[in-house]
Amino acid sequence: MPNAQKNSDVALNLPMGVTLSIGEVLFTVAIAALVKLISGDISVFMILFFRYFFCIPLLLLTALLQRGKAAFRIVSRTNLGIRSAMGLGSFGCLFAALQTIDLSKMTALLQTIPVFVTLLAPFLLGETVGWRRRIAVAIGFIGVVLIIDPSTGNWLNRGVLLGLASPFFGALMLLSLRRLGQTDHPSTTALWYNIIGAAVFFGVSVSLDIAWPETADILLLLCLIGVMSSFQQFFLAHSYKLAPASVLAPLRYLSVPFGVGASVVFFDEILTPSFFIGTTILISASFFILKRTQKIQAKS
């Protein structure tokens, strides 16, 4: 009995899991801020190449330690392709949106992922969504409308459309991961996803004759984005091994105050009452969806 308790303590380390989860959120906001900082100086395709390329070393090491010779073995190549396409679409839209949209607004719009997952799950996975979560989805989109604020001029612009497309593709990626997780190891799928991402955006950059970074400062920031992205993924994966999802899921919303703080301090963004009201509504709806989903899963 004492040995069993000891093993349980090793497997479930709540303080470390929470620490890694908060660290992952901080990395996410920091990466977005760096992308916005340099997006006017270098092509988004080049930024994406560096982001994926420098993720590979840490993920390769993790896959080799966990799976050995099977580190690259994939069972469902079709699902891996779908997961990769959705992931590339989500990050591509995110990085492109940050060229024109405020960091605070982009951070808030990313909280629509649970809303989109709930909206799409019945069609793609055949899951049943009750009336409570359907109402929460509708309320969540009311929050989105307030965040983008149609009363302002030029509100429906390229940045807003890309800012909404990013969480939409992110939701599709999460739904595809549910299927992929039934057949393949997460460390292997993450490794292949980043290899595919690096190859795709390297090919795009070469075919479009996009200039490589010309200054040491830009090159350093690109490398930093890639390295931070690898730790962001590592922290995300391992936090869920050390703490329950019910504890970690609400911590994702810390990205909003972190993002707002960074947007005000580093980019002098002006926040409106509509933004705060819409963000509060959206986060409340997303939180309700997460808790309701967890409750239903626990019953089943």
pLDDT in tens, 153-164: 777 789 999 999
Range of the domain at 133: 13-299
Residue 167 has pLDDT above 60, yes or no: yes
Cβ contact 226:50 at 8 Å = yes
Residue 80 has pLDDT above 80, yes or no: yes
- pLDDT tens sequence across 238-274: 887 788 877 887 888 999 999 999 999 999 999 999 9
Tell me what the mean pLDDT of segment 113-120 comes to: 92
What integer pLDDT is reported at residue 6 of this predicted model? 42
Within a domain: 5: no
What integer pLDDT is reported at residue 11 of this predicted model? 52
CA distance 95 to 92: 5
Within a domain: 92: yes
Which helix (H) or strand (E) segment is 185 a member of?
Answer: none
Residue 210 has pLDDT above 90, yes or no: yes
Tell me what the mean pLDDT of segment 13-31 comes to: 92
Which tokens is 245 given?
A: 């999802």
CA distance 42 to 4: 54
The fraction of the chain above a pLDDT of 70, given in percent, is 96
CA distance 18 to 247: 8
CA dihedral 196, 63, 249, 114 (to 10 degrees): 30
CA distance 281 to 277: 6
Within a domain: 1: no
Within a domain: 35: yes
What integer pLDDT is reported at residue 1 of this predicted model? 42
- Tokens 């270098």 found at: 42
The neighbour count for residue 119, using CB atoms within 10 Å, is 20
Question: Number of structural domains, the chain?
Answer: 1
Residue 291 has pLDDT above 60, yes or no: yes
Confidence of residue 223 (pLDDT cuts 50, 70, 90): very high
Within a domain: 124: yes
- Top pLDDT among 7 and 77 is at 77
Within a domain: 8: no
Cβ contact 267:35 at 8 Å = no
Within a domain: 2: no
Cβ contact 118:125 at 8 Å = no
pTM for the model = 0.89
Confidence of residue 206 (pLDDT cuts 50, 70, 90): very high
CA distance 27 to 46: 20
What integer pLDDT is reported at residue 152 of this predicted model? 81
Cβ contact 169:34 at 8 Å = no
Confidence of residue 139 (pLDDT cuts 50, 70, 90): very high
